[in-house]
Each structure stands twice: as C-alpha cells, then as structure tokens.
Amino acid sequence: MFQAFSRSLAQLTDQAILAILLRVVLLTLLLFVIFGVAAYFALVWLFAWLGWTDGGFAAAAAAAVIAILTGLLLFRILAIFVLNIFSDNIVDAVERQYYPDRAETAKPPGYMLGIKMGFASAGRALGYNILAAPLYILLLVTGIGVPIAFFSVNAILLGRDLQDMVAARHITDLQNFDAPWRLPKIERFILGLAVGLLLAIPFINFLAPVLGAAMATHLVHGKKEEQST
C-alpha cells in the first residue's frame, strides 16, 4: 500500500497526470457553481412566488451557503463521479509507465461507460449513506462514533469504485468479473479509507481522487503480478 501511494504521489508531476488532475478539479468546481446558480434562481422564483420582491440579495446569500454546505457534504460523491469520466486516462498513464504489457492489452471503456459508472457510484453512495443515517443518528451520543461509521461505510464504497476503474479496462462485465481482478476485501477497505480521509482534507481533497485511481492501479496489477509468480 505504501509503495502504491509513493509511486502515485511521484507520478503527480507527470504532464499527463497533471492535465487530467486539472480537468477533474475544474469540472468538479464547475458542477458546484452550476448547482449554486441553479439554487439562486430557484430561490428567486420562490421568493417572488411568496410575494417577496426584494429577495435578490437574500437569495444570493442563501444560494452561496447552500453551495458551500453541499460542497462539504457531497464533495466525495461529485469528485468520484467526475473521476469516473477521466479514470481511464489516469489508469492508462500509470499502466504505460509501470505495466506496459497490461496497457497494450487494455480496452479503454470510453467516456459513456465512465459516466454510467459515475452515476452508479453516486447512487450507491447516496443510497448506502441514507440507509446508514439512522446509525449515524444513534451514534451522535458517542461523539466519535459518527465519523468512524461514516468513513467505514464510504471506505467500502470507495474501494470498490477505485478497483472497478482499473478492472473496466480489462474486462467486459463489472458485475461478475474474475477474482484475479478483485482486490482482497481488507486491502480494498484500506484503499477506500485512505482516499476517504484524503477527501476530507481541504485542498488535498482535489488530489485525492487522482491519487486513489493511481493507487488502485498499482494494487490491482501488483496483486496479479504476485499471482503470476
């Protein structure tokens, strides 16, 4: 795991990875801006419907607050959704540098499959966290129980998402693919937990998705190399 992280961190200086990182960051920010603008116009309409004609400033302030809160709560979901769109480029860059034989036999899944995987990831994240909401509420009295439960649930989901980004280049059925392309559950959980924690750190969270995809590439191919020896 440490070797995967150090290699992924070192490769952030590669021109190809930097270009993808910039696209992931800009598109993620753009989605939040679009959400904020949509919230503003929705609030203006609501205030006008309620007969409050001077609510422009209040609508702008409320929309800004909503966008910020949404960013804090949903950044992980949007960032991984965007990452799915560009994940093939990241995995390809890592494979070409460290696993050229695998890169030659890979079949890029394309942007449409990436978008489909992004929606599936977002749906799982929302669904499982909604299901876990009663547990989060019960654990409020413990103080530390909520973050432990939250990061545990999302570590499981993130580990699967990152593993699938790599497997998608080499298999056709992501629902029923062979064990050699699956990471051990504990390794997948640690990967998801590491990326989940990075996503919670301001500014570092923009690097986390790209680092996660690169780490998953090293872990998946490292496992296959161990099996072939």
pLDDT value for 193? 95
Residues 185-222 pLDDT 10s? 999 999 999 999 998 888 888 889 999 999 999 999 88
State the pLDDT at residue 70: 67
How far apart CA 217 and CA 7 sit, in angstroms, is 11
**pLDDT single digits (tens) 121-147:** 989 998 999 999 999 899 988 878 888
Q: Is this structure's pTM higher than 0.95?
A: no
pLDDT at site 173:
65
Backbone angles phi, psi at 108, to 5 degrees: -55, 130
Both ends of the chain: CA-CA distance in Å? 19
The pair of structure tokens assigned to 93 is: 């860059």
The answer to whether 70 and 32 are in contact (CB under 8 A) is: yes
**Contact, 158 vs 116, CB < 8 A?**
no
pLDDT at 149: 92
Domain locations along the chain: 2-228
Neighbours of 177 (CB within 10 A): 16
In this prediction, residue 229 carries a pLDDT of 55
User: Which residue positions in the chain have pLDDT lower than 50?
Assistant: none
